[in-house]
A and B are shown apart, each in its own frame.
Chain A
Amino acid sequence: MGAVLEARGFGKRYRRRTWALRGVDLAVPEGSITALVGPNGSGKSTLIRSWIGFETPTEGSLVTGGIDPRRDRMGAVHRVGYVPQTPSLYPELTVSDHTELAVSLRRGFDEGLARHYVERLGIPLAARAAELSGGEQAQVGLALALGTRARILLLDEPLASLDPLARREFLRVLIDAVRSDGSTALLSSHVITDIEQACDRLIVLGKGHTLLDLSIADAIGHHRVVDAGEPPGNDGVVASFPSPEGETLTLVRTGASDGARPGRPASLEEVVIGHMAAARRREQHRPDGAAA
Chain B
Amino acid sequence: MQVLRLTFRMNRFEIVAVGALGALIVVGGVLVMWRLGAVGISSTCLPSLETGELASGCDALYREFQEIAGRYGQLVLLIGAFLPIVGGLLIGGPPISREIERGTARLAWSLSPSRLRWYAHRVLPMIAFLVVVAFAVGVVLDRLLGAISVGEDLSASFTSFRMRGILVATQAAVIAASGIALGAILGRSVPTFLLSLILSTLLIYGGVANVHRNILLGEADRQVCCETYEPGQLYLDTRIQLPDGRLVSYEELPSLDAEIGQLAFEGQLPQVSLVIPGSRYRELETREAVAHTAIVVVLLVLAAVVVDRRRPA
Question: Which residue on chain A has the smallest CB distance to residue B12?
Answer: A92
Given contacts A77-B112, A105-B118, A106-B112, contact A84 B103 (CB under 8 A): yes
Interfacial chain A residues near B102, Cβ < 8 Å: 88, 91
Q: How far is the CA of A90 from the CA of B104 in the complex (A)?
A: 6
CB distance A105 to B106 under 8 Å?
no
Within 8 A of A (CB), among B1-50: 2-3, 6, 9-10, 12
Complex Cα gap A87–B2 (Å):
23
State whether A105 touches B103 (Cβ < 8 A).
Answer: no
**B311 engages A54 (CB within 8 Å):** yes
Interface residue ranges of B73-113 to A (CB < 8 Å): 102-104, 106-113
Contacting pair B3 A75 (CB below 8 A) = no
Contact with B along A61-97 (1 / 0, CB 8 A): 0000000000000110110111010111111110001
A106 to B107 CA separation, bound complex (whole angstroms):
12
Which of B10, B106, B117, B311 interacts with A84 by CB under 8 Å?
B106
Is residue A117 contacting chain B, with contact meaning CB distance below 8 A? no
Q: How many residues does chain A have at the interface if contact means C-beta atoms less than 8 Å apart?
A: 32
Is B213 in the interface zone, CB < 8 Å from A? no
Q: Does the CB pair B113–A88 fall under 8 Å? A: no
Determine if B104 and A105 form an interchain contact, defined as CB atoms under 8 angstroms apart. no
CB distance from A91 to the nearest CB of B (A): 8
**Distance between A50 CB and nearest chain B CB, rounded to angstroms:** 10
- Residue B149 lies at the interface, judged by CB distance under 8 Å to chain A: no
In the docked arrangement, what's the CA distance between A85 and B191, Å?
26
How far does the Cβ of B23 sit from chain A's closest Cβ, in whole Å? 22
Number of residues on chain B facing chain A (CB within 8 A): 23
Query: Is A105 a contact partner of B312 (Cβ separation < 8 A)?
Result: no
Closest to B8 in A: A92
- State which residues 206-265 of A face B: CB under 8 Å: none
- Do A106 and B113 touch across chains, with their CB atoms under 8 A apart? yes
A142 contacts B by Cβ under 8 Å: no
Q: Which residues of B contact A75 (CB under 8 A)?
A: 113
Select one of B106, B113, B118 contacting A78, CB under 8 A. Answer: B113
* Distance between A275 CB and nearest chain B CB, rounded to angstroms: 30
Distance (whole angstroms) from the CB of A149 to the closest CB of chain B: 12
B311: A residues at CB distance < 8 A: 54-55
Query: B63 interface residue, CB < 8 Å from A?
Result: no
Contact of B287 with A by CB under 8 A: no
Inter-chain contact A84/B113, CB cutoff 8 Å: no
Q: Considering the chains assembled together, what is the distance between the CA atoms of A114 and B140 in angstroms?
A: 48
User: Across the interface, which residues of B come within 8 angstroms of A144, CB to CB?
Assistant: 107, 111
- Please indicate the chain A residues that have their CB under 8 angstroms from the CB of B12 in the complex: 92
**Would B117 and A105 count as touching, CB distance under 8 A?**
yes
Partner of B6, one of A54, A55, A93: A93
- Across the interface, name the chain B residue whose C-beta is closest to A107: B113
**B214, CB-defined interface residue at 8 Å:** no
A100 CA / B109 CA spacing, docked (Å):
15
Collect the chain A residues with CB atoms within 8 Å of residue B121's CB: 104-105
Does residue B114 face the partner (Cβ distance < 8 Å to A)? yes
**Residue pair A93, B10 in contact (C-beta under 8 Å):** yes
For the complex formed, measure the closest distance between the CB of B188 and the CB atoms of chain A, giving whole angstroms. Answer: 16
| Shortest beta-carbon contacts, A-B, top 5 | A88-B103, A105-B112, A82-B110, A74-B113, A78-B113
Q: Which residues of B contact A (CB under 8 A)?
A: 2-3, 6, 9-10, 12, 102-104, 106-114, 117-118, 121, 311-312
